[in-house]
Chains A and B, each alone.
Chain A
Amino acid sequence: MSRWRVPAIVAAAAVVLAVGTTAAPVLSQSQEVSFTYIEQQIITSIDPQAAVDESSLHSAINLYDPLVYPNVEQGTMSPRPHVAESWTVAPDGKRYTFNIRHGIKFHSGRELTAEDVAWSMDRQLQIKKGFFWIFSPVLDPGSTKVIDRYTVRFDLKDSYAPFLSGLELFFIMDKDLITANLKPGPFGDLGDYGAALLETKDAGSGPYRMERWERATEMVLTAFPDYWRGWKPGQITKVSYKIVLEEATVKTLLRSKEADMVNQWLSPPSFAELKQSPGIVVKEDPSVQLFHLEMNTKKPPLDNLKVRQAIAYAFDYDKAIQQIFIGATKAKGPVPVRVPGWNPQVPVYGHNVTKAKQLLAEAGYKPGDLTLEYVWVSSVPLERLIGLLLQSNLQEIGVKLDITGELWPHVLERATKAETTPHITAIFDTLKYPHIDSHTYGMYHPSCWGTFRCMSFYENAAATQVLEKARRAADPKEQMKLYEEAQVMIARDVPSIYVANPLHRIAFRDNVKGYRFVGLVGFDVAFYDFTIVR
């Protein structure tokens, strides 16, 4: 079968050399460098195939190796070789063949092989947890084939654009260790599929081994001396990952040097305060998050394009950015601007009250005719401020806005049907997998109706067709062209008011070097990348 090699791997080969695979220095006992990281949410599971939240992903990223890795060295989330040192894709985009790097060792001392990769994918699909939904549309258990000790092949049901980048979230597990420690469970011969084992131990090949895990307080990681990428002086050899909920305590720990780095969940005023503290760096990067106001296109009067356009013109974007989302980038379309494939040609709305009034009149509504419902998530006060801004903006064009705060589970419940979904809902939506498909197909294809991501219930047959074509396109260039086309079509139909791509912030002591943020959740806290200058 004729095949073509993914061009990206040529460039990525340089990265592989850079990360030093050939002469991996051995870790010396005398080089101990300890590091304390503070997180404000508990690690719910250290099973890398059950992880979905940020803290659980941190454990996965540091204890395990994914098949491919975001290219953090080049500041992008596009995949580069990692456990797979190269790969080929069949012209129809349905067959991916990966060559597994030789000499990668699990923490058990056994070599990682193609068998572990195939077994891990089957486990991911069978336990139906974590990021299984990225792979389940195109893979069934058993459709990953071991060709030889170092070659594995995925046979997809259909070509699927996000597949390769989705593998950044596919972590390889030690098959032998898990199968030797099975307990009774719901998976037949495979019992609990290692769930009990993974309560206390890791089964990975990542740069760190788990020394201790106390679910709600601390996880202690120690460097794995035989890690295949090797070690150099200054890298962190012991990590204390602490869970602290209270913001004031988190700040105290960083200031008193009891912590080296604290998580992104502090409030903007706290980050501003830390910026003023000596010896602390607050790193700010544009995130891959979109804050938008989803408009229910199935609910009158928002089923009328002109009404949606009027609202989009009425909203004061500059005030939202300058006074509420301080430091954020104005959103331009559904795709956050730093995501590869974002289309700069996408139509962008600005604050224009005259135009808004005109569109409302063209739609057949007079001032005072309309009352709309705006729902914000009650744990996010910032969304209320946006609601108040929108309320005053709409008042100018004679539209009344009722503002309601609701609990997140209740918002999810309301999102299940168009009839129960509010007119306008404030939503923060982070890239769910490292591909533009997340913020196009994932938000505007009718298959996602019923979830919080699709509270616009957007429907446009032409756009749907382009999205489906994009997802099936095997050629990356054609893929991107189609996704760009879809962005323009969607933005023209105004299913949302695209407000902001907020800043991602994190704070650390100024002697911590090597922090890199590429947008993909969790991968910025890869302790292997950090060094400490004493």
Chain B
Amino acid sequence: MNFRTYLLRRTLHIIPVLFGLSILIFVVSRVIPGDPVRLALGLEATGEQVEQLRRQMGLDRPLVAQYLAYFAGAVRGDFGYSLRTHRNVAQDLLDFFPATLELTSVAMLISVVVGVPLGILAAVRKDQGPDHVSRIVALIGVALPRFWLAILLQLALAYQLRLLPTIGRGPAPPVHVTGLFLVDSLVALRLDAFWTSLKYLAMPAFALSVGTLAQVMRLIRAGMIEEMRRDYALAARSYGLPPNLIIYKYLLKNAFTATLTILGLSYGFLLGNAFLVEAVFAWPGLAFYGVDALRYKDFNGVIAVTIVIGAAYALVNLATDILYGYVDPRVRYE
């Protein structure tokens, strides 16, 4: 099987996964107790008025008919009416998803850019000062709740030192292409807007990244130590190859496989679980929206968020699988 066939097959696998997920979340959202229509209309609405809206939304139809109607709409990009925001959920997704995507992507970037060098340093200086420091940093990073770290960062960097903005995403760039402020700023060739967006992103992205960063650091360290003990590493050293060449060209690539798995899983996880960080920094993201929808039983919102997060999870994992082949040539697309 060549790469193209593999890619096509894996992409097609995503369809039944999402289909199953949509059925599951649709049924769960309909059977959990509570009447979202009454909540949406105001608690004083009469039974007749509640019934009328229920009819308008098709909630009086059998569950299967409701699902088929929902599915047909979703395929066309219509995720139904939000009882919370009083507009189509698709519009909500367009507004909220880019913020979370940007936040999570930058958090993952920080995890890699900071975590990998620190992991290498800890491995190269095993059981020396840098290794001990990295161990403590990793422990704190994994153990510290993200939202608590977020509050501490906010108090220190925004309230006391006034280096960074306290909350929000900052002003939107002059052009709207992707909804990702960093990208849109560059598209508009506005470095000032890019810098401003970066300042708003710095604290939430760092707070979100810390757990993954710590994991990456430890995994790279463990992988590097293992690779450094192998014969090929010894041979390279005995040939007198420069240490940096050995580390970055040969050892790191081989040590990266386990880290790649964690990065793939974390990316998907953070997309749906950034809520607490988003809440602290008033970041208008999808997790924020999803939790709000859940609290008010806005079931169309809940279903759409679940499907989007599910799709993102599936795509990130597909990308990870493809990257395995690049990192480890022994992996075959079969």
Chain B contacts with A in 1-54, Cβ cutoff 8 A: 32-36, 38-39, 41-47, 49, 52-53
Q: Is the CB of B168 within 8 A of A252?
A: no
Bound together, the chains give a CA A195 to CA B85 distance in angstroms of 12
Chain B residues with Cβ below 8 Å from A50 are 86
- Which of B67-75, B105-113, B183-191, B276-284 forms part of the interface with chain A? B276-284
Given A243-B282, A412-B38, A413-B34, A45 and B85 contact (CB-CB distance below 8 Å) = yes
Verify B168–A242 contact, CB threshold 8 A: yes
* Shortest Cβ distance from residue B54 to the other chain A in the assembled complex, whole angstroms: 12
Q: Which of A244, A413, A432 contacts B35 (CB 8 A)?
A: A413
**Are B34 and A409 interface neighbours, CB within 8 A?**
yes
A47: which of B86, B154, B279, B281 is its contact (CB, 8 Å)?
B86
Q: Which residues of A contact B (CB under 8 A)?
A: 42, 44-45, 47, 50, 52, 128-131, 133, 136, 186, 195, 199, 214-218, 242-246, 248-249, 252-253, 255-256, 258, 407-410, 412-413, 432, 442, 450-453
Pair B42/A256 contact, Cβ less than 8 Å:
no
8 A–B pairs (Cβ distance < 8 Å), ordered by A = A214-B284, A215-B92, A217-B282, A242-B282, A246-B151, A248-B280, A249-B282, A451-B44
- Which of A47, A130, A408 lies at the interface centre, i.e. has the most chain B CB atoms within 10 A of its CB? A408
In B195-226, the 8 Å CB interface with A consists of none
CA distance A342 to B52 in the complex (A): 36
Knowing that A248-B154, A256-B158 touch, tell me 10 more A-B residue pairs with CB under 8 angstroms: A42-B292, A45-B86, A133-B42, A195-B86, A216-B292, A217-B284, A246-B147, A246-B151, A409-B36, A410-B34
**CB distance A133 to B45 under 8 Å?**
yes
Contacts of B151 in A (CB 8 A): 246, 248-249
A42: chain B residues within 8 A (beta carbon): 292
Complex contact B154–A252 (CB within 8 A): yes
Residue among A133, A214, A246, A410 having the largest count of chain B Cβ atoms under 10 Å: A246
Determine the residue in chain B with the shortest Cβ distance to A218: B168
Known: A42-B292, A133-B49, A217-B168. A246 touches B279 (CB 8 A): yes
Q: Are A255 and B159 closer than 8 Å at their CB atoms? A: yes
- Min CB gap B138→A, angstroms: 26
Q: Which residues of B in the span 167-194 have a Cβ within 8 Å of any Cβ on A?
A: 167-169
Chain B residues near A128 (CB-CB < 8 A):
41, 45, 49, 52-53
User: With A and B bound together, what is the CA distance between A452 and B47 in angstroms?
Assistant: 13
Q: Are B289 and A216 in contact (CB-based, < 8 A)?
A: yes
A-contact 0/1 string along B278-316, CB 8 Å cutoff: 011110100011001000010000000000000000000
Give the complex CA separation of A129 and B279 in angstroms.
29
Closest chain B CB from A197 CB (angstroms): 12
With A242-B168, A242-B282, A249-B166 as given contacts, are A216 and B96 in contact (CB-CB < 8 Å)? yes
Q: Is the CB of A244 within 8 A of B282?
A: yes
Bound-complex Cα distance A410 to B46 (A) = 18
For the complex, what is the distance from the CA of A51 to the CA of B114, rounded to whole Å?
Answer: 47
Question: B136: CB under 8 A from chain A?
Answer: no
- State A249–B280 Cα separation when bound (angstroms): 6
Provide the bound-state CA to CA distance between A188 and B154, in Å: 51
User: Distance in Å from the Cβ of A397 to the closest Cβ of chain B?
Assistant: 33
Residue of B nearest to A41 (CB): B292
Chain A residues contacting B34 (CB-CB under 8 Å) are: 407-410, 412-413
Question: CB distance A215 to B282 under 8 Å?
Answer: no
Within 8 Å by CB of B85, from A44, A131, A243, A442, lies A44
Residue from A45, A130, A217, A246 in contact with B169 in the complex, judged by beta carbons closer than 8 Å? A217
Within the complex, the shortest CB–CB distance from B309 to chain A, in Å, comes to 17
Which residues of B have CB within 8 Å of A45? 85-86
Q: List the B side residues contacting A253 at CB < 8 Å.
A: 166-167
Q: Which chain A residues lie closer than 8 Å to B166 at the CB level? A: 249, 252-253, 256, 258
A245 to B278 alpha-carbon distance, docked (Å)? 9
A244–B158 alpha-carbon span in the complex (Å): 15
Cβ–Cβ < 8 Å partners of A215 in chain B? 85, 92, 95, 284
B128 within 8 A of A: no
Asked whether A432 and B282 contact (CB < 8 A) given A249-B151, A256-B166, the answer is: no
Q: Answer whether residue B146 sits at the interface, using C-beta atoms and an 8 A cutoff.
A: no
Q: Which residues of B contact A450 (CB under 8 A)?
A: 47
Closest Cβ–Cβ distance, residue A330 to chain B (whole Å): 26
**Interface residue? B139 (CB, 8 A):** no
CA distance A433 to B95 in the complex (A): 34
Q: Are A412 and B288 in contact (CB under 8 A)?
A: no
Q: Which 5 pairs between the two chains have the least Cβ-Cβ distance?
A: A409-B34, A216-B284, A410-B33, A245-B279, A244-B282
The residues in B between 61 and 102 inclusive whose CB is less than 8 angstroms from any CB of A are 84-87, 92, 95-96
- Report whether A133 and B86 are in contact in the complex, using a CB–CB cutoff of 8 Å: no
- Cβ-neighbour of B280 out of A129, A199, A246, A451 (below 8 A): A246
- Whether the Cβ atoms of B288 and A216 lie closer than 8 Å is yes
- A451 in contact with B43 given A45-B85, A407-B33 (CB within 8 Å): yes
Q: Which residues of B contact A44 (CB under 8 A)?
A: 84-86
Neighbouring B residues of A133 by C-beta, 8 Å: 42, 44-46, 49
Question: Are A186 and B159 in contact, with the CB atoms below 8 A?
Answer: no
Given contacts A44-B86, A409-B297, A451-B44, contact A249 B167 (CB under 8 A): yes
Residues on the A chain within 8 Å of B92, using CB: 215
B155 at the interface (CB under 8 A from A): yes
Considering the complex, give the chain B residue whose CB is closest to the CB of A432. Answer: B44
Q: Which residue of A lies closest to B275 (CB)?
A: A245
Find the B residue at minimum CB distance from A451: B43
B244 within 8 A of A: no
B238 interface residue per 8 A CB criterion:
no
Of B41, B44, B96, B281, most buried by chain A (CB within 10 Å of CB) is: B44
The closest CB in chain A to the CB of B33 belongs to: A410
Chain A CB count within 10 A is highest, among B42, B84, B95, for B42
CB-based contact A409/B39 at 8 Å: yes
**A246 contact set on B, CB distance < 8 A:** 147, 151, 279-280, 282
Q: What's the least CB distance linking B15 to chain A, in Å?
A: 31
Query: Could you tell me the distance in whole angstroms from the C-beta of A70 to the nearest C-beta in chain B?
Result: 19
Question: Given B39, B49, B147, B167, which contacts A244 in the complex, CB threshold below 8 Å?
Answer: B167
B residues within 8 A CB of A410?
33-34
- Chain B residues within an 8 Å CB radius of A442: 44
Q: How far is the CB of A222 from chain B (nearest CB, A)?
A: 16
A44-B49 Cα distance, complex, nearest whole Å: 20
Chain B: minimal CB distance from A93 (Å): 22
Q: A249: which B residues are within 8 A, CB to CB?
A: 151, 154, 166-167, 280-282
Inter-chain contact A412/B39, CB cutoff 8 Å: yes
Chain B: minimal CB distance from A138 (Å): 13
Q: Please, how many angstroms separate the alpha-carbon atoms of A451 and B35 in the complex? A: 11
Q: Shortest distance in angstroms between A163's beta carbon and chain B's nearest beta carbon?
A: 15
